């Protein structure tokens, strides 16, 4: 098992978050900036597996990708696996315009790790919460409108505290625990 893991994405913000989180586990992460093909599918798992295989074929080294989705209950799970498309087309303001009183949502993250062709491992996590009534803060993605359960502020407003409670953190923590166990059992 190589000691270098490449985070493949065109989203530098996602990489910075992943690097900060994995540094807590002393797992170095390198950035391989590349816009992977965004497959449209009905599940995050399908999208993540597809992207991980694509990423591995590009670098032939251990790769990590992250795919996530915001699932709004009153919108029957929309945007879900289509979150990237929804963000690019209607944005946070469009999501806010679609909502009335019921604002419950979950934010899911899937971390996909691939170190051999067609061998992808998935690590997932979900954070329950709600959608704010207005955009709060100026971070990227849906961070300005998602308020995690037990909090009164959006991910954007939580700043660095987000990395301790987010869906991405929880999924990366599962990956890190698995990766460190594997590394230890391999004697690396």
pTM above 0.85, yes or no: yes
Going by pLDDT thresholds of 50, 70 and 90, the confidence category of residue 1 is: very low
Strand residues in the chain grouped as ranges (E): 5-9, 29-33, 63-72, 79-80, 104-116, 119-131, 146-148
Mean pLDDT in residue range 80-90: 94
Mean pLDDT in residue range 84-98: 95
Concerning whether 67 is annotated as a catalytic residue, the answer is yes
Mean pLDDT across the chain, nearest whole number? 93
Going by pLDDT thresholds of 50, 70 and 90, the confidence category of residue 150 is: very high
Structural domain for 137, as ranges: 5-185
The SS3 of residue 67 is strand
Give the total number of structural domains in the chain: 1
- CATH number of the domain bearing residue 92: 3.90.950.10
User: Which is catalytic among the residues 67, 68, 124, 143?
Assistant: 67
Mean pLDDT in residue range 102-113: 97
């Amino acid at each position: 098992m190589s000691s270098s893991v490449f985070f493949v994405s065109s989203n530098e913000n996602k990489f910075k978050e992943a690097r900060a989180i994995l540094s807590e586990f002393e797992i170095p992460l390198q950035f391989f900036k590349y816009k992977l093909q965004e497959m449209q599918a009905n599940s995050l798992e399908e999208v993540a597996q597809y992207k991980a295989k694509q990423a591995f074929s590009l670098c032939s080294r251990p790769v990590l990708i992250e795919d996530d989705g915001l699932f709004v209950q009153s919108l029957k799970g929309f945007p879900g696996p289509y979150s990237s498309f929804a963000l690019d087309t209607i944005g946070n303001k469009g999501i806010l315009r679609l909502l009335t009183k019921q604002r419950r949502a979950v934010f899911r993250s899937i971390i996909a790790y691939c170190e051999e062709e067609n061998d992808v491992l998935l690590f997932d996590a979900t954070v329950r919460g709600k959608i704010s009534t207005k955009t709060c803060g100026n971070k990227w993605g849906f961070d300005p409108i998602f308020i995690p359960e037990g909090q009164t502020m959006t991910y954007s407003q939580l700043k660095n505290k987000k990395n301790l409670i987010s869906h991405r953190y929880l999924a990366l923590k599962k990956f890190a625990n698995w990766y460190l166990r594997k590394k230890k059992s391999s004697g690396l």
